[in-house]
C-alpha cells in the first residue's frame, strides 16, 4: 500500500511512543546508575526509532523513493540538537574509535564551530550553514554513522539537487519530507527527554558541537551525568 504523507511542516508527537520510551528509560536505570546504563538509554532510543520507521515502511510502500545515499551530505550543514544521552554516546564512540590525531582534529573543529556561532541566534546560524559543516563529517561521510543522533536519522530527501540548491541559497528553503519519519523520531526524542527528567538527570536539548566540547573537557562525564550532575552547558 502506498503511503503518501509528504509534508513541509513538523508533524505532531505520538504520545504513546513517547510514553513507552520514557518507561524503557526508567526500566534501564532501575538496574543501576552506571556509565553502561547511560549509554544503553541512548542506544535503546536509537534502535527503537530505526525499528519504528523500518516496520512502517515494510508494510507501506513509499510513493517516492528517497534520494539519500552515502556521500550525499548537504543536510550535514544543518545545526544538530540532541539529548544528553545521545551526546554521551557520541563521545564514547569517538573515544573508542578515533585515533589521537583524529581526536585532535575534531577538537579543533568543535572549537571553530562554537566560536563562529557565539552570540548568534538560530536564524543567524542557519544563514551561516555553508561555513558550518558538521564537525563529525569526514571526507563527505558521517564519521559516527552507527550512533548518529536521532534528528539526523529523521532527515531525508526526495531530490539531492534540491538539497544542494537549498544549501547554496542565501534564503532558508523549506524541505518536503515523509511525516512518519519525523513523527516517529521526534516522539522518541520526547520520550528520551521525559525519561531523563524522571531520572533527575540533565535533559534539555543540546547543540552537538558544544555538547561534544563539554564531553571532552571534563573527567568521567557519562558516570557523572547519570548520577545527576549537570555536565553540559546551555
pLDDT 10s digits, 19-61: 999 999 999 999 899 999 999 999 999 999 999 999 999 999 8
Task: Please check whether residue 189 lies inside any domain of the structure.
Answer: yes
- Among left, alpha and beta (phi > 0; psi -120 to 50; other), residue 220 is left
Q: Pick 146 or 167 by higher pLDDT.
A: 146
Task: Please check whether residue 40 lies inside any domain of the structure.
Answer: yes
Q: Does residue 171 carry a pLDDT above 80?
A: no
**HSE-CB of 88 using CA atoms within 13 angstroms:** 28
Task: Please check whether residue 232 lies inside any domain of the structure.
Answer: no
Give 1's pLDDT tier (boundaries 50, 70, 90): very low
Task: Please check whether residue 1 lies inside any domain of the structure.
Answer: no
Asked if 33 and 93 count as a contact pair (C-beta separation under 8 A), the reply is no
Asked if 199 and 26 count as a contact pair (C-beta separation under 8 A), the reply is yes
Residues whose CB falls within 8 Å of the CB of residue 185, separated by 6 or more in sequence, listed in order: 49, 53, 150, 151, 153, 154
Q: Does residue 136 carry a pLDDT above 80?
A: yes
Domain extent at residue 96:
6-226
pTM of the predicted model as reported, rounded to 2 decimal places:
0.91
Task: Please check whether residue 110 lies inside any domain of the structure.
Answer: yes
Q: Does residue 4 carry a pLDDT above 70?
A: no
What rounded mean pLDDT belongs to the chain? 90
Asked if 148 and 89 count as a contact pair (C-beta separation under 8 A), the reply is no
Is 59 buried (19+), middle (13-18) or exposed (0-12) by CB count in 10 A?
exposed
Secondary structure percentages of the chain, helix, strand, coil, to 5: 60, 5, 35
The grid coordinates listed for 228 are: 545527576
Give the per-residue pLDDT at 167.
80
CA-wise closest residue to 225 among 93, 82, 95, 33: 33
Least confident of 85-89, 123-127, 194-198: 123-127
Task: Please check whether residue 231 lies inside any domain of the structure.
Answer: no
**Count of domains in the chain?**
1
Task: Please check whether residue 233 lies inside any domain of the structure.
Answer: no
The grid coordinates listed for 74 are: 548537504
Asked if 76 and 133 count as a contact pair (C-beta separation under 8 A), the reply is yes
Task: Please check whether residue 177 lies inside any domain of the structure.
Answer: yes
Give the per-residue pLDDT at 19.
97
Asked if 127 and 78 count as a contact pair (C-beta separation under 8 A), the reply is no
Amino acid at each position: 500500500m502506498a503511503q503518501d504523507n509528504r509534508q513541509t511542516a513538523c508533524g505532531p508527537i505520538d504520545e504513546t511512543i513517547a510514553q513507552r520510551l520514557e518507561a524503557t528509560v526508567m526500566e534501564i536505570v532501575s538496574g543501576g546508575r552506571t556509565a553502561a546504563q547511560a549509554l544503553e538509554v541512548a542506544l535503546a532510543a536509537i534502535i527503537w526509532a530505526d525499528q519504528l520507521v523500518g516496520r512502517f515502511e515494510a508494510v507501506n510502500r513509499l510513493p517516492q523513493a528517497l534520494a539519500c545515499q552515502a556521500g550525499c551530505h548537504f543536510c550535514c550543514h544543518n545545526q544538530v540538537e540532541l539529548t544528553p544521552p545521545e551526546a554521551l554516546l557520541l563521545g564514547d564512540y569517538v573515544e573508542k574509535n578515533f585515533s589521537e590525531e583524529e581526536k585532535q582534529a575534531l577538537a579543533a573543529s568543535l572549537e571553530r564551530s562554537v566560536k563562529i556561532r557565539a552570540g548568534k541566534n538560530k536564524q543567524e546560524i542557519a544563514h551561516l550553514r555553508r561555513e558550518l559543516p558538521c564537525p563529525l563529517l569526514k571526507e563527505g561521510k558521517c564519521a559516527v554513522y552507527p550512533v548518529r543522533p536521532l534528528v539526523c536519522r529523521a532527515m531525508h530527501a526526495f531530490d539531492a539537487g534540491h538539497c544542494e540548491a537549498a544549501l547554496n541559497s542565501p534564503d532558508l528553503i523549506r524541505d518536503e519530507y515523509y511525516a512518519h519519519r519525523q513523527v516517529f523520531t521526534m516522539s522518541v526524542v520526547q520520550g528520551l527527554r521525559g525519561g531523563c527528567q524522571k531520572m533527575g538527570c540533565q535533559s534539555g536539548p543540546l547543540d552537538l558541537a558544544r555538547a561534544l566540547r563539554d564531553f571532552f573537557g571534563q573527567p568521567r562525564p557519562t558516570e557523572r551525568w547519570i548520577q545527576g550532575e549537570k555536565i553540559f552547558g546551555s
